[in-house]
């Protein structure tokens, strides 16, 4: 049995980036790892009320953060000198190219004096929802697309206004969520007959709305139950490795009812047209030519003294997580090195994001073998930003390792899903292409031979391996988190307490912040996510900083340094909830100074 979360938002405004995270994912994807249940066990460790609350909190904080961005954009445009024709031309081009603003106007005494696009006085009269100096309209349709107005007062007689195109909302939410305005009328709805609501009155019983405090919006999170057995592998396929480096492709051609699907020497995916995966594995296990065979398992993402204070706009108001792990003290020692590379095995990375541009190396797509590692989901970009966003550039957030490069390895698709084959293939490619640190904010509850083989290959090549522990509040270990070659990370909140969803057990080595973590999202956006997926890249960033100072340290020595300098939490000494404790960037780096 599997929990599926559906999300509906009742909003009178525009700030949808927060719920993009909710909408693109179910509950576990929001926390960074989409749950795959342990064998013969239903995980029921997470209270639904708590899960609903963390989703609502992420939305509310993301809304506030994005409101701040919109407000700053209006301020910048209000200061434009439109008297010069050349400057006016450049300004109009900037507005037209903005990903959210469709048009813009300067308004004096209720009359538009300068416009880019079409903002009529009739539209301005729709502005009647106010918050923190901003005024919003309800959404409206124009040429079959949804728009809404936002305005900000500059002085007593002057204000600036923008018209926002909301079509991107539909592209993100697809059929997974519905949106209603402040009057309770839905203007975006899915195709599922059960959620084709017209007004709030159409909601089925048992669904409770939670309020976003800033604007009085409401978030509704409810779960359905899907019966039936979940498949944790791709049916009809198996992953094999032959003994003694035999010519595997020729061997496959000689086998009756066996075809080659993918190869990534020494691993190969084979498929049968007549046999199930279980039958295929059982049959091939008996073949002496086969070193190992297993199903192609599905993997999914799992979302003092004077100190350095970066000037990034969201650092001081939102990034409590970096202060908690003493990142500022650590940056006095080093902010990283371009010579040290952190590989992010995930949904890919947006290389054009303003907080990553120039530091994302050419990556790898483990699905098609190309270099197309762009992120069509958002999870990988969020993870990369935590580890190593460009810092002290005024814009956006700060990353743990300012200067370190990111090597994007796409092992999860646009739905946040991949298989053991893709993950193993991605690990080996990252090792062979210069990764000193590999972050894996993903996992599954099945022990995969191919995955462990790739993990051992990376460890033997002295790569630091970081993995998220999982988000099911269970002591059932996930993989790769349970492998001894990997440093496994649990999640803490802003009180240094264990995040309620964080998996625990002998496999946990350290902890790091994982609740309500701001970071990057494709197309120059910023959102807040929660999960051990967010905790792991804090540790990957620290590992990158350590190797920037002393690249001669072995991976085991890096593990030892991070655990030895961690802040002991919970029971004295190592425990199943925090491992050695929460990482301390400052203390770890000062040991090397």
**Token couple for 299:** 């993997």
Catalytic residue among 60, 502, 533, 548: 533
- Identify whether 355 is a catalytic site residue: no
Judge whether 459 and 438 are in contact, CB under 8 Å: no
Q: Report the C-alpha gap between 10 and 189 in whole angstroms.
A: 11
Report the C-alpha gap between 102 and 97 in whole angstroms. 9
The residue annotated as part of the active site, out of 346, 355, 375, 493, is 346
- By the 8 A CB rule, do 538 and 512 touch? yes
162 three-state secondary structure: strand
Residue 443: closest CA among 363, 351, 379: 379
- DSSP helix/strand/coil, 527: strand
d(CA 393, CA 355): 8
**What strands, in cross-sheet order, belong to the sheet with 464-468?**
364-365, 405-410, 341-346, 437-440, 464-468, 487-492, 510-513
What distance lies between CA 560 and its chain's CA centroid? 28
CA 141 to chain centroid: 31
Can you give the C-alpha Rg of the chain in angstroms? 25
Q: Give CA separation, 303 vs 290, 330, 351, 369, 551, in Å.
A: 38, 25, 19, 26, 30
CA 498, CA 269: separation in Å to the nearest integer? 39
Distance CA 339, CA 550 (A): 11
- Tracing tokens 């506030």 back to the chain, one arrives at 64
Annotation marks residue 346 as catalytic: yes
Catalytic residue check, 98 = no
133: its two tokens: 């100096």
The beta-carbon contacts of 264-267 under 8 Å, at least 24 apart in sequence, are 264/366, 264/369, 264/421, 264/424, 264/425, 264/428, 266/241, 266/242, 267/239, 267/240, 267/241, 267/421, 267/424, 267/425, 267/450, 267/453
Burial grade of 406 (CB within 10 A; 0-12, 13-18, 19 or more):
buried
Element (H, E) at 167: helix 167-173
Which one is catalytic: 379, 382, 446, 538?
379
Active-site residue list: 346, 379, 533
């Amino acid at each position: 049995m599997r929990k599926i979360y559906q999300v509906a938002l009742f909003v009178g405004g525009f700030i949808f980036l927060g719920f993009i995270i909710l909408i693109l994912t179910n509950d576990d994807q929001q926390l960074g790892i989409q749950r795959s249940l342990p064998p013969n066990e239903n995980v029921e460790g997470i209270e639904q009320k708590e899960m609903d609350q963390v989703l609502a909190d992420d939305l509310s904080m993301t809304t506030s953060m994005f409101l701040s961005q919109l407000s700053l954009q209006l301020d910048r445009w209000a200061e434009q000198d439109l008297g010069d024709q050349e400057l006016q031309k450049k300004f109009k081009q900037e507005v037209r190219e903005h990903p959210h603003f469709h048009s813009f106007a300067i308004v004096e005494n209720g009359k538009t004096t300068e416009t880019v696009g079409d903002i009529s006085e009739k539209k301005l009269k729709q502005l009647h929802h106010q918050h923190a100096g901003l005024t919003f309209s309800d959404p409206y349709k124009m040429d079959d697309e949804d728009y809404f107005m936002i305005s900000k007062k500059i002085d007593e007689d002057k204000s600036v206004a923008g018209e926002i195109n909301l079509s991107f909302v539909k592209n993100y939410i697809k059929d997974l969520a519905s949106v209603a305005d402040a009057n309770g009328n839905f203007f975006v709805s899915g195709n599922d007959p059960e959620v084709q609501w017209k007004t709030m009155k159409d909601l089925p019983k048992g669904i409770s709305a939670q309020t976003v405090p800033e604007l009085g919006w409401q978030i509704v999170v409810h779960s359905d139950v899907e019966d039936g057995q979940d498949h944790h592998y791709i049916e009809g396929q198996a992953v094999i490795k032959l003994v003694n480096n035999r010519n595997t492709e020729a061997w496959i051609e000689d086998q009756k009812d066996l075809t080659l699907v993918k190869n990534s020497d020494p691993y190969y995916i084979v498929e049968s047209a007549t046999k199930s995966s279980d039958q295929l594995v059982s049959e091939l296990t008996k073949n002496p030519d086969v070193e190992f065979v297993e199903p192609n398992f599905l993997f999914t993402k799992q979302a003092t003294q004077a100190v350095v204070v970066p000037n990034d706009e969201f650092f001081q108001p939102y990034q409590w997580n970096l202060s908690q792990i003493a990142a500022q003290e650590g940056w006095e020692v080093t902010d990283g090195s371009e010579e040290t590379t952190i590989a992010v095995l995930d949904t890919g990375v947006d290389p054009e994001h303003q907080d990553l541009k120039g530091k994302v190396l050419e990556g790898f797509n483990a699905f098609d073998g190309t270099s197309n590692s762009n992120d069509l989901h958002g999870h990988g970009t969020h993870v990369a930003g935590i580890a190593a966003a460009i810092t002290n550039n005024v814009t956006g957030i700060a990353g743990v390792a300012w200067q370190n490069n990111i090597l994007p390895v796409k092992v999860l698709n646009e739905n946040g899903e991949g298989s053991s084959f893709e993950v193993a293939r991605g690990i080996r490619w990252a090792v062979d292409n210069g990764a000193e640190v590999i972050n894996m904010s993903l996992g599954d509850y099945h022990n995969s031979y191919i995955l462990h083989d790739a993990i051992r290959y990376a460890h033997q090549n002295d790569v630091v391996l970081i993995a998220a522990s999982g988000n099911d509040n269970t002591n059932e270990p996930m993989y790769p988190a349970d492998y001894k070659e990997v440093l496994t990370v649990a999640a803490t909140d802003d009180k240094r307490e264990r995040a309620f969803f964080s998996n625990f057990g002998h496999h946990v080595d350290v902890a790091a912040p994982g609740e309500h973590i701001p970071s990057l999202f494709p197309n120059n956006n910023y959102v807040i996510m929660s999960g051990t997926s967010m905790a792991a890249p804090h540790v990957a960033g620290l590992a990158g900083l350590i190797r920037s100072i002393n690249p001669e340290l072995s991976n085991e020595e890096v593990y030892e340094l991070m655990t030895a300098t961690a802040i002991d939490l919970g029971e004295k000494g190592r425990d199943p909830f925090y491992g050695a404790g929460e990482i301390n960037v400052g203390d770890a780096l000062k040991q090397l100074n």
